Amino acid sequence: MTLLQKPSKTALFACALFGPVAHCQASAFMEDSAASLKARNYYFDRDYKGSSPQSASREWAQGFIASFASGYTQGPVGLGLEGQAWLGLKLDSSRSRVGTGLFPYNPDTHEPSDEYSELGLTAKARVDKTELRWGTLAPALPVIYASQTRLFSQTFRGAELKSQQFDNMLLFLGQMDRNNLRDSTDYQPLSVASPNGRFNPAATSSRFRYAGGDFRLGEPLVIKAYLAQLRDLYRQSYLGFEHSLVLGNEKLLTDVRYYESAEDGAGRAGRVDNRNLGVMLTYVRGAHRVSAGYMHLEGASAMPYLAGSDPLVISAGAYASEFVNRNERSWQARYEYDFAGSGIPGLRGTLRYLEGRHIDLPTALGGNGRTESEKEVELSYVVQSGPLRDIAFRLRHGWYRNDFSPTASFRDDNELRVNIDYTWRLW
């Protein structure tokens, strides 16, 4: 929904302010700008089963996300600015039910905050088809993927260079020095995610570097290659390819992802030695999508990734676990249906089952040969017309089970998530 026209008067005022020296560069800055306000209502209920120090993590929140993105000033080097402001309001929570990732809470008393807010700014510069962005960033790459799964997104502080200067190539070069978690309002040093005692969670770093790109070889094939380094903690390389084979009105999609990780420098996170190969095959026909995947991990450690982020492996999107424990072998089956094929546009459904075996954990958490599994069902609907047009509803339910020790990070649970999103386009 658009509430306002583009601010041409503002642009003219900016031109007058900057004067003829700037040749009305502010006009492009404002005329190509966009602003929006998103309202997000989020209910999260993780009901732990069996022996657990906490019976449930259950909270309800209302969030508002205001976003602004300018155009670029004219000239050989175009300059611009982006900004986001977040406001989270507590609708329901308690000291006994914190830990959903929706709210910050006092680590000593477990008292959840009534509200929290923050502001993120990003400066940008563009030369031809190459763009440099600096400030608050949320990368979405195989080696650094800011988590989007709660009320607000995780963000990082740093700089990223993105270039499409060459045909069929998308290149990235970046460095981050701080991490802002989904339920936090301040930046912290970078560290390695360490559920189930995988690594040393107290080890931190102030530099994460990455480089790589996506390379399209003809229409059906994309190869992705990236290198990353979290200084003195771990280094990682990634190679993947995506292929699309069209068979009349059907498609066969192939997605292969390979990660290789080792400790870096002083190795302060502990031993890092992991290789992860995942393959996902998807058959598409009309409104139906059927997928099957397999992921194989081996080495002396689990797969490392940045604390708070999501590893972009083929199990991505799983609710309770990421299925990247040491020596884990997992498989999954997934079915998706677009109800537009049945005359209900905007309605989608998903079923998924994941199972992991041969998991090696520390002795205190269950030892070797452990297993885990997760069943998921999801329904989403976007209103297509009328006064409620574009309101998005999303319902997710999951059942997670394992045979780990009750003191492990991942515990048996039944999980329910309900989201309602609506975006006003201000101009």
Q: Write out pLDDT tens, residues 316-340.
A: 999 999 999 999 999 999 999 999 9
In a domain, 397, yes or no: yes
Query: Is pLDDT at 22 greater than 50 in this prediction?
Result: no
What's the pTM value of the predicted model, to 2 decimals? 0.92
In a domain, 116, yes or no: no
Q: Which of 298, 202, 218, 211 is nearest to 258 (CA)?
A: 298
In a domain, 245, yes or no: yes
Give pLDDT, residue 27: 65
Give pLDDT, residue 182: 94
Containing structural domain, residue 261: 42-57+126-174+186-425
Report yes or no: 352 and 391 within 8 Å, Cβ to Cβ. no
Residue 412's φ and ψ, nearest 5 degrees, are: -55, 135
Structure tokens of 366? 């269950």
Give the C-alpha separation, 287 to 412, whole Å.
33
- Exposed / middle / buried, residue 314 (Cβ in 10 Å: 0-12, 13-18, 19+): buried
CATH code, 150: 2.40.160.10
Give pLDDT, residue 15: 43
Render pLDDT for 118-129 as a digit per residue (tens, 0 to 9): 999 999 999 999
Query: Is pLDDT at 304 greater than 60 in this prediction?
Result: yes
Give pLDDT, residue 20: 45
Report yes or no: 191 and 201 within 8 Å, Cβ to Cβ. yes
Query: Is pLDDT at 23 greater than 70 in this prediction?
Result: no
In a domain, 319, yes or no: yes
Give the C-alpha separation, 240 to 312, whole Å.
11
Give pLDDT, residue 31: 87
Range with the lowest mean pLDDT among 7-11, 46-50, 254-258, 282-286?
A: 7-11
Radius of gyration of the chain (CA): 23
Query: Is pLDDT at 209 greater than 70 in this prediction?
Result: yes
Give pLDDT, residue 14: 40
Structure tokens of 156? 């990082």
Average pLDDT over residues 82-87: 97
Render pLDDT for 152-189 as a digit per residue (tens, 0 to 9): 999 999 999 999 999 999 999 999 999 999 999 999 99
Match 């970078």 to its residue by tokens: 190
Counting Cα atoms < 13 Å in the Cβ hemisphere of 365 gives: 20
Give pLDDT, residue 25: 55
Torsion of CA 160, 164, 168, 174, to 10 degrees: -10
In a domain, 249, yes or no: yes
In a domain, 121, yes or no: no
Q: How many domains does the chain have?
A: 1
- For the chain, give the mean pLDDT: 93
Average pLDDT over residues 276-295: 98
Query: Is pLDDT at 242 greater than 50 in this prediction?
Result: yes
Across-strand partners of 28?
none
Burial 8-29 (b: 16+ CB within 10 A, else e): eebbeebbeebeeebebbbbbb
In a domain, 117, yes or no: no
Give the C-alpha separation, 383 to 152, whole Å.
23
Query: Is pLDDT at 3 greater than 80 in this prediction?
Result: no
Query: Is pLDDT at 112 greater than 60 in this prediction?
Result: yes
Q: Higher confidence at residue 381 or residue 2?
A: 381
Report yes or no: 153 and 136 within 8 Å, Cβ to Cβ. no
What's CA 141's distance to the chain center, in Å?
A: 9
In a domain, 107, yes or no: no
Give pLDDT, residue 18: 40
Query: What do you get for the CA distance between the two ends of the chain, in Å?
Result: 9
